[in-house]
Chains A and B, each alone.
Chain A
Amino acid sequence: MTGSSPINPNVQTIIASLKDKPGALLPILHGIQDELGYIPAETVPAIADALNLSRAEVHGVISFYHYFRDTPPGKTTIHLCRAESCQAMGAKDLENHVKNRLGIDYHETTKDGVFSLEPVYCLGLCACSPSMQIGNEVYGRVSAESFDSTIEALS
């Protein structure tokens, strides 16, 4: 590939350090998303080139997995569990509250760029339903009130 815009040197380092692993594509994509919060389209040619794949193949993998994103997330991403155990403990009401409070739907980011909201299908905290994850922090038995105080502390 020629003529593509220069990419972040850290991304180049990530690609170079992982490309020789067997099945390197997912580790590389995780590495880039950990670094930048998303996988910018301009990194795709460099990934494809390093792994001897087509850009379509790399794009296909990025788009297959719910976790990978090609747009920047808000400063903080909230993963709210929608699965059965959480539903049995009021997750639907919580979901409505969260969407109203943030003014966004799933897969959207607040206008001020502070919060992104993503659904998740089980965090393995089913004995503490309903649950959510913010960054690497997990929260159980979440209520509308505890959600509000958690995000107030973060905004």
Chain B
Amino acid sequence: MTTTVYVPCDSGALCLGADKVASKIVEEAKNRNIDINLIRNGSRGLFWLEPLVEVSTDKGRIAYGPVQPHDVVSLFDAGFLTAGTHPLALGLTDEIPYLKQQERLTFARVGITDPASLDDYLAHDGYRGLKNALILSGADIVKHVTDSGLRGRGGAAFPTGIKWNTVLNTVSEQKYIICNADEGDSGTYSDRMIMEGDPFVLIEGMTIAGIAVGATQGYIYLRCEYPHSHKALNTAISKAYEAGYLGDSILGSGKKFDLEVRLGAGAYICGEETSLMESLEGKRGLVRFKPPLPAISGLFGKPTVVNNVISLASVPIILDKGGEYYKNFGMGRSRGTLPIQLAGNLKQPGLIELAFGVTLRELLYDFGGGSASGRPIKAVQVGGPLGAYLPESQFDTLVDYEAFAAIWAVLGHGGIVAFDDTVDMAEMARYSMEFCKIESCGKCTPCRIGSTRGMEVIEDIIKGHDLNKNIPLLRDLCNTLLNGSLCALGGMTPYPVLSALNHFPADFGIADQADAA
């Protein structure tokens, strides 16, 4: 009997040696005359256990990890193909608490299926949403998305249904669907995991979006830092074309949708939707003034839906099970689930998809297992490089857009980066300004000049120069950036800077909160 063995092809597993493990398993099986069927799945998202090798058994899939090439011989000796015991054995994958406690909707297939296999996608409920969408009117598809309460998962949390409705109701001979796959926010990697682990779900979501609003051309704007995602997407797209899921008449419906991947070129600002469209048009990625909204005049001046990867990848399950089903997860105005990404100094970093409403503390300690270094967690940055730093006193904040807004923080794309007590928060604030300086598109003055001045002022503060003058100056400058910038880069750099100053004044050489004013 041939046993199926899974070794992930996700970048997170590859960067820890998954390819070498896979070839060693193939080689060892050959040496022992054992037939195996090796599948390169996506990652389950338990990165401290990567490379996580799984074996298919009667009872379900059994996991071993983290596996290094030198472990492979002993795994065979221990009979891992028949669930033999081994120091790296983790039991049934589905029973690992980190996974078992999750509510995986968008990530339902990631780590389970072969991302390069359309058959596998279909066998795991793939394209059911599209089939439903093909017999609905555009307005009814949009209604499902609106009813689901889905808000843009890229960071801005704008209701997806409202955006789609605007494009649907704008008359034009040409409309576009753009997937923003420029996942530049540090500490986030859920887009990458979808594209590498279940690319068909993104393709299906974009196809449904196209049918809903009457757009016949889609572009995935992918950052060039993701070569493995690029390959996975192109493989899946060509298979979708071959099988009639993309092209001139999707599944014979007469409805057309074409899809192409376009690569960015290392500019963080191109994750901003108007800058992204400039880049797609072949220009410098300068931010546009809004209005006009992209939904009315977007790519090449045509009505355009611009959605993040996770937003679009959540659409198939909404169309499969209905907007109400998705809406029943979550809390308040944050409906559905959020794929949260734990990163930085944590014992158990990884992907956790849960309904909104979990606390930061549960994520950091129950899932994350506390810091990797064993030292106290001093601060966490949530929502990427433009997100606020939160001190321990705010760890009971719920994962909810409004709860974060209430403490002058942002949930953003759901990335959480933990720092232990060796971090110098004044240095992190300086870095935030430096990042803004490096990545500013240069169009508006507050961001272009303010970031350089901000870096200089914080450097002076770090040297202890004229704190009485320089702290108010930094606050004044942040105020200008907050209120005077054209987009979120300049407009939100004050979040990490001021939150660091407010919560960790001692790192800036000032005694307490009162002096920080």
Contact = CB atoms under 8 A, between A and B. Distances in A.
A124 B265 contact: no
A126 B283 contact: no
Interface stretch (B199-207, B220-228, B318-326): B220-228
A84 B265 contact: no
Contact of B344 (A26, A27, A68, A129): A129
B186 A29 contact: no
Contacts of A127: 12, 45, 47-48, 189, 341-343, 349-351
B488 interface: no
A75 to B, nearest CB: 18
B262 A122 contact: no
B282 A26 contact: yes
A19 B277 CA distance: 18
B431 A87 contact: yes
20 contacts: A25-B282, A26-B262, A26-B282, A61-B283, A65-B267, A67-B267, A84-B186, A87-B428, A88-B343, A88-B419, A89-B372, A123-B225, A124-B225, A125-B11, A125-B15, A127-B342, A127-B343, A128-B15, A141-B15, A141-B16
Interface string B442-470: 00000000000000000000000000000
B283 A83 contact: no
Nearest to A58: B282
B346 to A, nearest CB: 8
A131 interface: yes
B266 A51 contact: no
A126 B268 CA distance: 16
B417 A126 contact: yes
B50 A84 contact: no
Interface string A119-140: 0111111111101010011111
B400 interface: no
A29 B14 CA distance: 28
A3 interface: no
Nearest to A24: B282
Interface string B1-26: 00000000001101110000000000
B93 interface: no
B153 to A, nearest CB: 15
Interface in A35-76: 51, 60-61, 64-68
A6 interface: no
A26 B261 CA distance: 12
Top 5 A-B pairs, shortest CB-CB distance? A25-B282, A83-B186, A67-B266, A126-B343, A140-B15
A21 to B, nearest CB: 9
By CB atoms of chain B within 10 A, which of A60, A86, A128 has the most?
A128
By CB atoms of chain B within 10 A, which of A30, A51, A89, A131 has the most?
A89
B354 interface: no
Contact of B283 (A25, A84, A124): A25
A128 B282 contact: no
A84 B379 CA distance: 12
Contacts, number: 152
By CB atoms of chain B within 10 A, which of A24, A25, A125 has the most?
A125
Given A61-B282, A125-B11, A88 B417 contact: yes
A90 to B, nearest CB: 9
A47 to B, nearest CB: 10
By CB atoms of chain B within 10 A, which of A23, A86, A88 has the most?
A88
A22 interface: yes
B189 A124 contact: yes
Nearest to A135: B227
A85 interface: yes
Contacts of B263: 26-27, 30
Given A26-B264, A87-B431, A126-B343, 9 more contacts: A23-B262, A26-B265, A65-B264, A67-B266, A86-B186, A124-B189, A127-B47, A127-B351, A141-B15
B280 to A, nearest CB: 5
Nearest to B231: A136
A26 B225 CA distance: 15
A26 B278 CA distance: 11
B507 interface: no
B189 A125 contact: yes
B381 interface: yes
Contacts of A123: 11, 225
Contacts of B283: 25, 61
Interface string B274-306: 000001111111000000000000001000000
Contacts of B265: 26, 29-30, 65-68
Nearest to B43: A127
Contact of B417 (A27, A30, A84): A84
A61 B12 contact: no
A84 B284 contact: no
B15 A84 contact: no
A138 B228 contact: yes
Contact of A88 (B225, B418, B438): B418
B185 A122 contact: yes
Interface in B399-422: 415, 417-420
A138 B224 contact: no
B91 interface: no
A89 B345 contact: yes
